[in-house]
């Protein structure tokens, strides 16, 4: 984050350029975001409400920051001047905060997110929806925005102004009260936002749940309406219910109100996939209103991403980044938790370790798990959740030891059994006679995995294999190890012996016969000698049916997929440390013929087989020139 450095107060104004990311965002906001422009007001009211929450919290320890007056948000339209003003008496912003907050984007992962935008307006707009433009959405309706702000406890106020085209100015002003006043100079096609009737509707639609009063100031000149027109009441008018939504009884809250609250609290734009609202009594009392989004937040996998559940103590906002509020594997959950039992006057750091907070967390997770179980009854519905957050949820399989069994039951996988998602329970119920393990294969994508030679023998026997394609799978599987007393076993490990498992319409496997056994042994010795250091071992295998060879990891060693993942991140052991085993299919024609070949031709074919196995496994061929030469030699012979 590029926070402005401390500098002496600026006497005169200064002109500054927006951070490149902001300029790009503004360009999209101004030129492409037309649908649903009215949400800018929700964003500004949301910020105003957060600013009041922050001051209320700060004033707990520093009462002199406020004069004790009530927190309020005012919106004041002026149709004549074509302006709309949104004002709060919250914490305000200092000079440096104005520059940092309204000139840069501090969200971690922003740069990466914006880099990923395609330049195609339609696509980018939907992406931006996931990201949330916050304050900058003001430029959808205004061609100039003036922000006057005075930080609580400071004497100097500041005026920030911009037309959203690359630069902004900041100058000192005497005309500032504590808090923030935002004046939108409305575009010609946005004058509806200076109309009290529109504003009433917009605030009721999007911001009814805001816990502070949102007050419509009388429009200037409203008293002097012409005869026959209904005069606008020349008094302040509170537009929203102004009570904390989470404290209201469930049956008084509509789905629409829940959704808008979710948009506010989660800085989100999608529909919640799940809403959980309940009050807990007993060892610790609290109210929770939680949401599982339907869309992946842009920074879900960003290492710095924190939980997004806001903690309130008796309706006083405490923190939205409290470690320990939510386990990491539920970091996509958003919402509010409010408990009167937590102490108000202690620091966030101390609160973090409060045993009551742990109890609350445990209660929340239990409820969420219970709800997920219920929703998992509809496979189609649950798949939506799983496709979006499954990869994160699986972190819980090794992080949340206590709930491992429950979480395992909630996990879903793609497998060789059809196209849908399967649970471990489904898998276990289909296991073949003589099968004692749950088989899985790890890799980058399911389609490639399905075609892997490592699976051939399993497919032939109709043995189901789980196709694990999330990087996280490499970590939870070894740590979990078993499900319902059945070990999880990688098909990519050498030594997979399927001979004891009945299934498929494969004929009884014919034994090779003593002579052939000896020939295979000799061949293996020869291959080992030829391939030398390139492989850790060469083995005969029953897993292969159509392919002559495949590459597997030495049993007990790191999987080839994990080794590749680590390498991509510049970590992990050098290639040689991962022990790769070449498995051969003694019934394949190439292998049979190879037994009769000697000399250089043998060497060429041996290395070609190894390279072929590497390619199928998703690896690169270490010496492409040698590969091409051998290939040509062998082809030339074959073409005679
Ligand atoms: P977000 O609200 O998602 O952080 P915004 O772009 O809307 O993003 O706002 C950026 C920051 O500017 C906020 O996090 C807050 O610190 C500050 N800010 C915005 N509006 C106000 C306000 N009315 N009062 C005080 N600070 C504000």
Average pLDDT over residues 169-176: 94
3-state secondary structure of 75: strand
- Band of pLDDT at residue 447, cut at 50, 70 and 90: confident
The predicted structure's pLDDT at residue 3 = 47
140 vs 3, more confident: 140
Confidence of residue 108 (pLDDT cuts 50, 70, 90): low
Q: Where are the alpha helices (DSSP H) in 178-280?
A: 196-206, 255-266
Q: Which of 113-127, 290-304, 306-320, 421-435 has the lowest mean pLDDT?
A: 113-127
The answer to whether the beta carbons of residues 263 and 329 sit under 8 Å apart is no
Atom 3, ligand 1: which residue's CA is nearest? Answer: 134
Is any atom of ligand 1 closer than 6 Å to the C-beta of 134? Answer: yes
* Domains recognised in the chain with CATH numbers: 14-222 (3.30.565.10), 254-388 (3.30.230.80), 514-637 (1.20.120.790)
Q: Please check the confidence at residue 576 and state whether its pLDDT lies above 50.
A: no
Ligand 1 pocket, mutate which of 1, 18, 47 (most atoms under 8 A from CB) = 47
pLDDT of residue 248 exceeding 90, the answer is yes
* Residue 294 CA, ligand 1 centroid: distance in Å: 25
Average pLDDT on 473-498 reads 86
Which range (168-172, 304-308, 505-509) has the least confidence? 505-509
Residue 575 binned pLDDT confidence (cut-offs 50, 70, 90): very low
What's the pLDDT at 1?
43
Mean pLDDT of 186-214: 92
Å from CA of 53 to ligand 1 middle: 12
Residue 537 has pLDDT above 60, yes or no: yes
- What pLDDT was estimated at residue 559? 76
Which residue, by CA, sits nearest to atom 23 of ligand 1? 48
SS in 3 state form for 193-249? Answer: HHCHHHHHHHHHHHCCCCCCCEEECCCCCHHHCCCCCCCCCCCCEECCCCCCHHHCC
Atom number, ligand 1, closest to the C-alpha of residue 46: 2
380 vs 4, residue with greater confidence:
380
Mean pLDDT of the chain: 86
Per-residue pLDDT, averaged over 358-369, amounts to 94
- Residue 315's region, left for phi above 0, alpha for psi from -120 to 50, else beta, is left
Q: Report the separation in Å between the CA atom of 326 and the middle of ligand 1, taken as the mean of its atom positions.
A: 24
pLDDT category, 315, cuts 50, 70, 90? confident
Residue 102: pLDDT above 60? yes
239 alpha carbon – ligand 1 mean position (Å): 22
pLDDT of the residue at 561: 78
Q: Within 13 Å of residue 623, how many CA atoms lie on the same side as its CB?
A: 9
Q: What is residue 243's predicted lDDT score, i.e. its pLDDT?
A: 86
222 to 202, 218, 489: CA distances (angstroms): 20, 7, 76
CA dihedral 87, 89, 93, 98 (to 10 degrees): 0
Q: Which atom of ligand 1 is the closest one to the Cα of 86?
A: 23
- Decide: 21 in ligand 1 pocket, CB within 6 A: no
Query: Percent of the chain beyond pLDDT 70?
Result: 88
Which numbered atom of ligand 1 lies nearest the CA of 92?
Answer: 25
The predicted model gives 416-427 an average pLDDT of 93
Residues ≥6 apart with Cβ < 8 Å to 423: 376, 409, 411, 412, 413
Choose among 388, 334, 339: nearest CA to 363.
Answer: 339
Give 539's strand partners: 583
**186: β partners:** 142
DSSP state of 216: E
CA distance 147 to 16: 15
Task: Write the residue with the smallest CA distance to atom 12 of ligand 1.
Answer: 101
Q: Tell whether ligand 1 has an atom less than 6 A from the beta carbon of residue 442.
A: no
Please give the pLDDT value at position 415: 95
Q: What distance in angstroms lies between residue 347's CA and the mean position of ligand 1's atoms?
A: 23
Region 184-193 average pLDDT: 96
In degrees and rounded to multiples of 5, residue 266 shows phi and psi of: -100, 5
CA distance linking residue 210 with residue 627, whole number of Å: 67
HEC string of 20-59 equals HHHHHHHHHHHHHCCCCCCHHHHHHHHHHHHHHHHHHHHH
Q: What pLDDT shows up at residue 227? A: 57
Residues 196-223 have a mean pLDDT of: 87
Residue 76 reports pLDDT greater than 70: yes
Substitution site in 39, 49, 50 for ligand 1 pocket (most atoms within 8 Å of beta carbon): 50
**Rg over CA atoms, the chain:** 32
Nearest atom within ligand 1 for CA of residue 91: 25
Q: Which residues pair with 274 in a beta bridge?
A: 292
Atom 9 in ligand 1: residue holding the nearest Cα:
135
Q: Is the CB of 319 under 6 A from ligand 1?
A: no
Closest by Cα among 582, 606, 581 to 593: 606
Residue 101 Cα to ligand 1 midpoint, Å, equals 6
Distance 98 CA to ligand 1 centre (A): 9
Whole-number Cα distances in Å, 18 to 26, 109, 162: 9, 18, 10
At 2, the pLDDT band (50, 70, 90 cuts) reads very low
Q: What is the DSSP letter of 402?
A: G
3 state DSSP class of 507: coil
**Distance (Å) of CA 160 to CA 61, 88, 163, 463:** 29, 16, 11, 67
47 lines ligand 1 (CB under 6 A): yes
pLDDT at residue number 446: 87
What are 249-290's pLDDT values in tens digits? 999 999 999 999 999 888 888 899 999 999 999 889 999 999
Ligand 1 geometric centre to CA of 546 (Å): 61
Cα of 336 vs centre of ligand 1, distance in Å, is: 19
Overall average pLDDT of the 55-80 stretch: 93
pLDDT, mean of residues 367-394? 96
Among 72, 89, 101, which is best to mutate for testing ligand 1, by the most ligand atoms less than 8 A from CB? 101
Distances (CA, A) of 254 to 172, 259, 338: 45, 9, 20
What's the gap in Å between 47 CA and the centre of ligand 1? 5
The CA 248 to ligand 1 mean position distance, Å, reads 27
Residue pair 489/439 in contact by the 8 Å Cβ criterion: yes
List helix spans (H) across 430-497.
Answer: 446-450, 456-460, 473-480
How does pLDDT run across 25-46, given as a tens digit for each residue?
Answer: 888 877 766 667 888 998 899 9
Q: Nearest C-alpha to atom 4 of ligand 1 is from which residue?
A: 134
* CA 492 – ligand 1 centroid, Å: 51
Over pLDDT 90: what percentage of the chain?
A: 52
């Amino acid at each position: 984050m590029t926070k402005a450095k401390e500098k002496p107060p600026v006497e005169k104004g200064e002109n500054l350029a927006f951070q490149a990311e902001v300029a790009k965002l503004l360009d999209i906001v101004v030129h492409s975001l037309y649908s649903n422009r009215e949400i800018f007001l929700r964003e500004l009211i949301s910020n105003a409400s957060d600013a009041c929450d922050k001051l209320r919290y700060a004033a707990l320890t520093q009462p002199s920051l406020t004069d004790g007056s009530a927190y309020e948000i005012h919106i004041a339209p002026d149709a004549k001047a074509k302006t709309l003003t949104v004002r709060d008496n919250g914490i305000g912003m200092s000079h440096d905060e104005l520059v940092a907050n309204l000139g840069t984007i501090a969200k971690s992962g922003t740069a990466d997110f914006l880099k990923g935008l395609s330049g195609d307006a339609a696509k980018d707009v939907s992406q931006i929806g996931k990201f949330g433009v916050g304050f900058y959405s003001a430029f959808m309706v205004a061609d100039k925005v003036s922000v006057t702000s005075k930080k609580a406890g400071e004497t100097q106020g500041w005026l920030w102004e911009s037309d959203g085209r690359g630069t902004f100015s900041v100058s000192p002003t005497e005309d500032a009260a504590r808090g923030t006043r935002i004046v939108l100079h409305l575009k010609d096609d946005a004058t509806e936002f200076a109309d009290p009737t529109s504003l009433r509707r917009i605030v009721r639609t999007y911001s009814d749940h805001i816990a502070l009063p949102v007050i419509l100031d009388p429009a200037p000149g409203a008293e002097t309406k012409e005869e026959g027109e209904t005069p606008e009441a020349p008094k302040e008018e509170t537009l929203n219910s102004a009570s904390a939504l989470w404290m209201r009884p469930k049956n008084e809250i509509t789905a629409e109100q829940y959704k808008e609250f979710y948009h506010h609290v989660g800085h989100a734009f999608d529909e919640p996939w799940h809403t959980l609202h309940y009050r807990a009594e007993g060892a610790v009392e609290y109210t929770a209103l939680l949401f599982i989004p339907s869309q992946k937040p842009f920074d879900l996998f960003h290492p710095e991403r924190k939980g997004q559940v806001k903690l309130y103590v008796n309706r006083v906002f405490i923190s939205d980044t409290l470690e320990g509020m939510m386990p990491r594997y539920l970091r996509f959950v958003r919402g509010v938790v409010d408990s009167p039992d937590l102490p108000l006057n202690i620091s966030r750091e101390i609160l973090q370790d409060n045993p009551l907070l742990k109890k609350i967390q445990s209660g929340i997770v239990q409820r969420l798990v219970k709800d997920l179980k219920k929703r998992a009854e509809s496979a189609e519905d649950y798949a939506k959740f799983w496709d979006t957050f499954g990869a994160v949820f699986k972190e819980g399989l090794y992080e949340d030891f206590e709930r491992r069994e429950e979480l395992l039951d909630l996990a879903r996988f793609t497998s060789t059994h059809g196209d849908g998602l399967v649970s471990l329970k489904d898998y276990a119920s289909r296991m073949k006679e003589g099968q004692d393990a749950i088989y899985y294969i790890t890799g980058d994508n399911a389609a490639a995995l399905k075609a892997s030679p490592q699976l051939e023998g399993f497919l032939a026997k109709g043995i189901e294999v789980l196709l694990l394609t999330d990087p996280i799978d490499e970590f939870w599987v070894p740590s979990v190890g078993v499900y319902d007393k059945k070990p999880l076993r990688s098909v990519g490990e050498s030594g997979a012996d399927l001979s004891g498992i009945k299934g498929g319409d494969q004929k009884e496997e014919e034994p090779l016969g003593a002579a052939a056994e000896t020939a295979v042994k000799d061949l293996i010795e020869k291959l080992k000698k030829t391939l030398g250091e390139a492989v850790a071992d060469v083995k005969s295998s029953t897993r292969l049916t159509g392919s002559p060879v495949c590459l597997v990891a030495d049993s007990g060693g790191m999987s080839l997929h994990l080794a590749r993942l680590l390498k991509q991140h510049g970590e992990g052991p050098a290639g040689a440390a991962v022990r790769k085993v070449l498995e051969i299919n003694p019934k394949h024609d190439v292998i049979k013929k190879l037994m009769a070949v000697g000399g250089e031709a043998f060497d060429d074919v041996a290395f070609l087989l190894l390279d072929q196995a590497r390619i199928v496994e998703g690896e690169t061929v270490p010496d492409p020139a040698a590969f091409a030469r051998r290939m040509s030699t062998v082809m030339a012979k074959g073409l005679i």
